[in-house]
Amino acid sequence: MSTAIQTPSPALEAAAHNAGLNLTAAEPGTDLTGAPTTRAILTLAGNAALAADPARQQLLELSQAFDAADPKFAAALAVFFREASQRLRNPRPDVYLSLHGLPLSFGKFAWPFHGSTSGADTFIVHGEIRLEDGRGSQLHAKVSASMTQTFATVIPALEQPFAESFIYNAVRKTLDQGQLELVASGNRQPVPVTTRYYSMKQQVFIFNDTTETQRRAYLAAKTFWLSHVLGAGEPVWLTDPRDAQYLNTNVADLKATAASLVNDGLILLDPTGNWSTATDALRNEEPTYRAQVDEALAFIKPTFNEDMRHGHTNM
């Protein structure tokens, strides 16, 4: 395999540029089957300070055979790069919030999908999530997201730009259900991604049926963690379509919900209504948010092993 840095294709560079991004070639990689991949770094164009910040850079990894010039990929690539151009303005673009209030970074995802080596009829991508509580927590989970072949037919290709959103949301959903545990060390944990997360009739992804009250709490907590705790008070993007998908709502609803939090004195919004920072009232809720993290960690911690450890078993 060649180790020479490969320039991203002109079609890929053009799509990134149209969204206000620079695409810089990086060292080539390999997927988990050993097949070569093309890698590039996404940074914001026209803002040297943000582009130089390692926290505001995103790795894009594609199979070398991927043809970005194919017209069938154009619309989805445009959406991916357009959203990335906003997300990279966040102080921590890699951090997302779970519905139970856990701030999590997503990293080390080995794109693209690869076929299962166990003989199962699935496609798999490996990655890692970590608890980001601002206190250097070592809790994390290595994940193996497996997608059925039926599910794979609903996306244009088994590549990062077309799958990153729903894979991240499936990981969050699995954690919400108490089926992932954050540990100091441990084995890779499964995240099954099936058609239950997708409506063939409506052609939309479905993760969490949330109420207005839940979405208000979510956006307030997102502002607390991503802007106040992890972002040194910098604005955070509240109307991220990835969160809208996760919460089974839309961007317009998120924007309206954010405005109601302003009325309650919890957040401040920029003139567009899309970017928020915390008020003193929200910052003063730190004990509440840290208690929520403790409660969420207790919820996802398996009780079976604890029962076994203390001899409470009828086996």
CA atoms 97, 101, 103, 104: torsion sign: negative
d(CA 240, CA 308): 42
Q: Which residues contact 192 (CB under 8 A, 6 or more apart)?
A: 145, 146, 174
Among 176, 236, 248, 239, smallest CA distance to 212 is for 248
What is the predicted pLDDT for the residue at 167?
97
What is the predicted pLDDT for the residue at 3?
54
- Where are the domains positioned within the chain? 1-89, 212-300
Q: Write the DSSP string, 129-141.
A: EEE--SS----EE
What is the predicted pLDDT for the residue at 63?
93
Which residues are bridge partners to 146 per DSSP? Answer: 124, 192
Q: Which residues contact 224 (CB under 8 A, 6 or more apart)?
A: 278, 282, 283, 285, 286, 289
- For every one of its 315 residues, what pLDDT tens digit does the chain have, with 9 covering 90 and above? 455 566 789 999 999 999 999 999 998 888 777 888 999 999 999 989 999 999 999 999 999 899 999 999 999 999 999 999 999 999 999 999 999 999 999 999 999 998 877 666 899 999 999 999 999 999 999 999 999 888 888 899 999 999 999 999 999 999 999 999 999 998 999 999 988 898 888 888 999 999 999 999 999 999 999 999 999 999 999 999 999 999 999 999 999 999 999 999 999 999 999 999 999 999 999 999 999 999 999 999 886 444 433 434 333
The model's pTM is: 0.93
According to CATH, the topology of domain 212-300 is Arc Repressor Mutant, subunit A (1.10.10)
Cβ atoms 258, 238 nearer than 8 A: yes
What is the predicted pLDDT for the residue at 120?
67
What is the predicted pLDDT for the residue at 309?
39
